[in-house]
Structures are given as C-alpha cells and as structure tokens.
Amino acid sequence: MSFMIAGFMVVGAIAFLVAKFGSNFIRKMLGMDIVVDVVVTVLLCWMFAITGTISGMLTGIFCGLIISALLFFGKKLFTHQKFMKVGGKYRWVNVPGEWR
C-alpha cells in the first residue's frame, strides 16, 4: 500500500513540474507519448530499484503505469503536436484528439 501512495506522490510532482513548462510543451510531449513513456518508466524503475527493495521496484512500476495511463488518455482527449514533414519542411503540427 505504501508503494501506491509513493507512486501517486511522485506522479503528482512530475505532473506539476511538467505543467510549469506550459501547454505547448505538454502538447509536444503528448505527441511523443511512446518515447516519453518508455524513458520515464525506465528511469523511475531504475531510480526506485537501486534501493534494493521490492517495494522500491513496485513504486517505479506503479509510477510508470500511472504515467502511461495519463499519456494515453491525454493523447486521445486533447489536441497534441507531432513533428511532421509538411511542404518539404519539418515543423510541429497540431493533431486533434481522437475522442473529441
């Protein structure tokens, strides 16, 4: 049970930190959700696993699960930006959420 509380606290801290960067950053992050998900999950699992306890590893996995769910539903519900080639140049393009 303590790993769930720690997981929610860590995800809350990460969410507030990302919110400080602004909505444009969040849209770009939602456009690269797979990369962000894998990197954050691996880093959190590693960070909590070096404590040498099962509860540390469970906390990292639980944080990754919550972040995966937030990224998945955020991408489906909200407008996000993808880095695409448009007219011979690469630029960020707004893509509406699929469930809107």
Token reading at 25: 């950053």
Model pLDDT, residue 99: 84
- CA nearest neighbour of 47 among 56, 38, 55: 56
Query: What tens digit of pLDDT does each residue of 49-73 get?
Result: 888 888 888 888 999 999 999 999 9
pLDDT score at 1: 81
> Per-residue pLDDT tens for 11-22?
999 999 999 999
Q: Which of residues 28 and 53 earns the better pLDDT score? A: 28
Residues 6+ apart with CB under 8 A from 24: 81
100: pLDDT strictly greater than 80: no
DSSP 93: E
pTM above 0.75, yes or no: yes
Continuous segment of H or E residues that includes residue 94: strand 89-95
Domain parsing of the chain, residue ranges? 2-95
